[in-house]
Structure 1
Amino acid sequence: MSEPVTGDYITNPGANPHDLSARLRAECPVHRIDYPVGASAYVVVDYKTNQEAFNDPRLSKQLENAPAWFRERTLSNSPVVAASMVLSDPPEHTRLRRLVSRSFLPRRLKRLRPVVQGITDDLIDAFPGSGEIDLLTDFSYPLPLTTICVLFGVPESDRALFKYWGTYLSGSPGDTDPGRAAKRREVNDEVTEYLGAVLADRRAHRDQLREDLFSDLVRAADEDDMFTDEELVSTMIQLILAGHKTTATLIGNGTVALLRHPEQLALLRSRPELVSSAVEEFLRYEGSVDRGSLRVAAQDMELGGVHIPKESFVHLSISAANRDPSVFVDPDRLDITRSPNQHFAFGHGPHFCAGSPLARLEANIAFETLLRRLPSFELAVPFEELPWIADSSIGRGVEAVPLRYEKRLPR
């Protein structure tokens, strides 16, 4: 058997992991990989096998099916994450997802659209009239973070806390680094205490429950009487923290993709009605989620013709599947008119991302407004100097996007 793929394929993919993905895909759809280091682990790199794997009940997300060392480390570092639907299988996942799905009903998103538009314009109003900005710091991060905090009713004075907490809680739950693990536990306890206090306050003032997502989740949980307080707090954390980082990276990655393909940028400026199609292509071409979240083999199994032993980690490479030439014509070309575009950026099957409607809404408004209010912009550094990082347990994106522009138009 060939040597396993190095863990760098996941932990340090750099600006272009796609060439290696293509070579791996040409050899075999499934490869051994040395991540987590020393564990039995495999990575799936083609579209067809990923599609099958997303729907395969033998690939479990429950900690009970993971190796003992990973289970113990996750429960020690991040007990609140361990209680979330991200680490559950049906029927538990189905039950917990009911609570999350209420957060993104079409009528709520319709009411949210002018709020997102206002936040977007406010952020651009704060740009200098001309000069330079870092798109991530000045726009991409605060937009989804502010939106989700407004949605939940988080006071403005507390919003910086959620960005800080998200930096640590979005990392790998089985992180072996002692310093990061200790910090993760510290943050876990801080956010649990904060949200527990919010939960207690809302319940103590039932007659004054507000029209925000915190209150709605309390109502839903208490009316159904089928969610524990731990599950309720875990759901709140998942929605707040997971809901902003990937969207922020999507806006950054998409902007860089447009600047690397000036003909596509010009097309989108001339035809702004293509923005929804463009966002789907950004999600496929250079999405912010590199692979699916935790999956382990609940039994000995075969996947893509490869034997997978029980308790093996199985990484579903979304970025590799989204460049599979058997599904996408000329997959390494950015095409904002691409159709069909059945990418896996939000996963597939029962664990399809429940927050995808909000992410799409934010990204559409972000690109529409940026392109309208900044008639032209360019990178302030050469493309090769952009730092790319794997910034969470499953994410990948640019760490900074310094932009230079000559004019900012009014809202």
Structure 2
Amino acid sequence: MNPAPFFDPFLAARDGGRYDQYRWFRERAPAAWGRPPQRVFGDALYLFSHHAVTRGLAHPALLQAPETAEYRIIRDALKATPDFRMILAAVLFTDPPAHAVLRRPMSQAMTMASVQPRRAALQARAQSLLDACCRRKHFDLVADFASPYIVGALGDLMGLPLGDPLALKEETARLARALDLQHEDSPCSGHAPAAVALARRVERTLTTTKPHPDGLCMRFLELYEGGNWSREDLVTNLVFLLFAGQETAVDGLGNAVVSLARNPEAWRSLASGQVDSLDATDELLRYDPPLQYAATRIAAEPLTIAGIAIPANTAVVPVLASANRDPEAFPMPETVRLDRRPAASRTFGHGPHVCAGKHVARLEIAVALETVLAYLPPEAIDLDRTVERDLITFRGHRQIPVTPDSSDR
């Protein structure tokens, strides 16, 4: 009998064929054992099929921080690095009932109805940035458009001035690298404590700036001053918003533009208004999501998923990008169909930890795509010179060169 295949996320990302790897494993089994996502874990179970990922994301015994003696040892080891020590207190890495206390004010402030009034301001920001970009012979979509656009939008949402978008992007990119899946030979401790730098930025801004009364920061401050949140809750979750609200949105926007440039008919279909921009955004984020893996879950007790017995304290990793390409959920999943309306997409997760800011991100990216496609033809994107990020969990681009007049190439 052949041994069961063993998944190596580091190899899949390094070879540039991650989607081929996901498909290979998914076609053989809905889940497979593989290399641990962090050095402190033993072998982990990776979930590949849409059904297995969905079940894993919602399973009540798969937790972020189960109260077992064995996992406390693992969590203490993770906390040995400053970035993990801070970020593990954020909403994403907590379990009920504390999770609801932290999540509720975020989700209440970021419903689709509450974010729709931001559309006009987003359009104005996108148009202003692209007006400036298109006066140049060449520009970089990531540095010159996506980053300042998303950082400006995030500042409006939070009700805080965020300063130089490229400086903030550098700090959040360092945190993404520190939180990425770590090879056993990759010393996490070698990274500068990016979360600490972001926390200092937050504390400095809170000291020198009065937040806008309608922003999320003011809502968080009221919870802190009312005794519902600790100071750690306040600072850590502002740091988490700075990180998650910017890294994944910039990556998602860049991936979407590149996917459209590789599919000129889809580009023209969206540019002409034949497809709703939010529907198109959902499909593009399904096709090439910025977050490939969900946060690692830990089995609080022995359980079974996809017919596999999982011992207590085992790390379980739902592969979101694999679920999004499962033909059982999405016919012809490796084809971009902008009118697909992929309601079952797992780009934003599922279950109690589904992304609280998903409606914000969808609208920001949809408005940006409308604007980019109104200003540029698909030939303006220099696909031969794009540079991808060298990360595993986070998929995006460091550079997307643009030549507004393609005859200038």
TM-score by length of 2: 0.88
Aligned letter for 2:348? F
| Paired position in structure 1 for 2:105 | 99
**Correspondence for 2:320 among 318, 327, 343:** 318
Map 1:118-133 onto structure 2 (within 5 A).
Answer: 118-129=124-135, 131-133=137-139
Give the AA of the match of 2:398.
Answer: E
**Deviations for 1:48-97, whole angstroms, at most 9, x for unmatched residues?**
11111111011111275547245323353222212111111111111110
Shift in alpha-carbon separation, 1:199–1:405, aligned structure 2, 3 A: closer
Instruction: Indicate conservation of the 8 Å contact 1:253/1:397, yes or no.
Output: yes
Distance change in 2, residues 1:342/1:9 (3 Å): farther
Measure how far apart 1:104 and its partner are: 1.6
Would you say the 8 A contact 1:100–1:235 is kept in 2?
Answer: no
- Alpha-carbon deviations, 1:350-389, whole Å to 9, x = none? 111001111011111101111112245333243xx54333
> Is the partner of 1:320 in helix, strand or coil?
helix
Structure 2 counterpart of 1:169, which letter?
L
Aligned residue in 2 for 1:137: 143
Contact 1:87/1:294 (8 A) holds in 2: no
State whether residues 346 and 352 of structure 1, in contact with CA within 8 Å, keep that contact through their aligned partners in structure 2: yes
Per-residue deviation, 1:135: 1.2
Whichever residue aligns with residue 196 of structure 1, its letter is: E
Matched residues in 2 for 1:64 and 1:390: separation? 34
The answer (yes or no) to whether the contact 2:63–2:300 under 8 Å persists in 1 is yes
Q: 1:56 aligns with which of 50, 59, 63?
A: 59
The 3 A distance-change label for structure 1 pair 155 and 183 is same
Moved more, 58-67 or 367-376: 58-67
Aligned to 2:176, which of 158, 167, 170?
170
Question: 1:59, 1:295 within 8 Å by CA — same for their partners in 2?
Answer: yes
Q: In the TM superposition, what is the alpha-carbon distance from 1:242 to its structure 2 partner?
A: 0.7
SS in 2 for 1:377: helix
The residue type paired with residue 45 of structure 2 is: Y
In 2, the alpha carbon distance for the partners of 1:221 and 1:322 equals: 38
Residue 330 of structure 1 corresponds to 332
- Is the contact between residue 133 and residue 402 of structure 1 (CA under 8 Å) also seen in structure 2? yes
| Cα deviation, residue 19, structure 1 | 1.9
Q: Structure 1's 7 and 308: CA in aligned 2 closer, same or farther, altered over 3 A? A: same
More displaced, 152-161 or 79-88? 152-161
The equivalent residue for 2:267 is: 265
Which residue of 217, 220, 224 corresponds with 1:217?
220
Report the equivalent of 2:27. Answer: 26
Matching residue of 1:251: 253
Helix, strand or coil: the match of 1:164? Answer: helix
Q: Which residue of 2 aligns with 1:405?
A: 404
Moved more, 122-131 or 165-174: 165-174
CA distance in 2, matches of 1:222, 1:102: 19
**2:81 corresponding residue in structure 1:** 76
8 A Cα contact 2:278 2:363, kept in partner:
no
Q: 1:150 to 1:160 in 2, by over 3 A?
A: farther
Amino acid at match of 2:189: A
The aligned residue for residue 115 of structure 1 is 121
Name the residue aligned to 1:193.
200
SS in 2 for 1:399: strand
* Displacement after TM superposition at 1:304 (Å): 0.8
Paired position in structure 2 for 1:345 = 347
* Correspondence 1:361-376 to 2 at 5 A: 361-375=363-377
- The structural deviation recorded for 1:35 is 2.8
Letter in 1 for 2:257: T
Are 1:389 and 2:392 matched, yes or no?
no
Please say if residues 143 and 166 of structure 2, whose CA atoms lie closer than 8 Å, have aligned partners that are also in contact.
no
1:275-307 C-alpha deviation (Å, 9 max, x unpaired)? 221111101111111011121222222211112
Could you tell me which amino acid in structure 1 is paired with residue 265 of structure 2?
A: E
Segment drifting more, 299-308 vs 236-245: 299-308
CA pair 28-3 structure 1, distance change in 2 beyond 3 A: closer
Residues in 2 aligned to 1:70 and 1:321: alpha-carbon distance in whole angstroms = 28
Post-superposition CA distance 1:162-187 (Å, at most 9, x none): 323211223354856776525443x3
Secondary structure of the residue that 2:133 maps to in structure 1?
coil
How many residue pairs were aligned?
A: 397
Q: Would the alpha carbon gap of residues 390 and 300 (structure 1) be closer, same or farther in structure 2, given more than 3 Å must change?
A: farther
C-alpha spacing 1:323/1:67, structure 2 compared with 1 (3 Å): farther
Asked if 1 retains the 8 angstrom alpha-carbon contact of 2:63 and 2:298, the reply is yes
* 20-29 or 144-153, which deviates more: 144-153
Residue 260 of structure 2 contacts residue 378 of structure 2 at CA under 8 Å; is this kept in 1? no
Q: Is the 8 A contact 2:264 2:378 kept in 1?
A: no
Q: TM-score, normalised by structure 1?
A: 0.87
Secondary structure (helix, strand or coil) at the match of 2:309 reads strand
1:84-139, Cα deviation, whole Å (9 max, x unpaired) = 11111111111110132244245652442222222211210211436322211111
In 2, Cα distance between equivalents of 1:334 and 1:98: 34
Distance change >3 Å, CA 201–CA 129, structure 1 → 2: closer
RMSD value, Cα: 2.7
Q: Does the CA contact (< 8 Å) of 1:64 and 1:71 recur in 2?
A: no
**Alpha-carbon spacing, 1:90–1:309, altered in 2? closer, same or farther (3 Å):** same
C-alpha distance in 1 between matches for 2:310 and 2:334: 30
Letter in 1 for 2:389: I
Report if the CA contact (8 A) 2:147-2:250 is conserved. Answer: yes
Displacement after TM superposition at 1:30 (Å): 0.8
* Residue identity in the other structure for 1:17: R
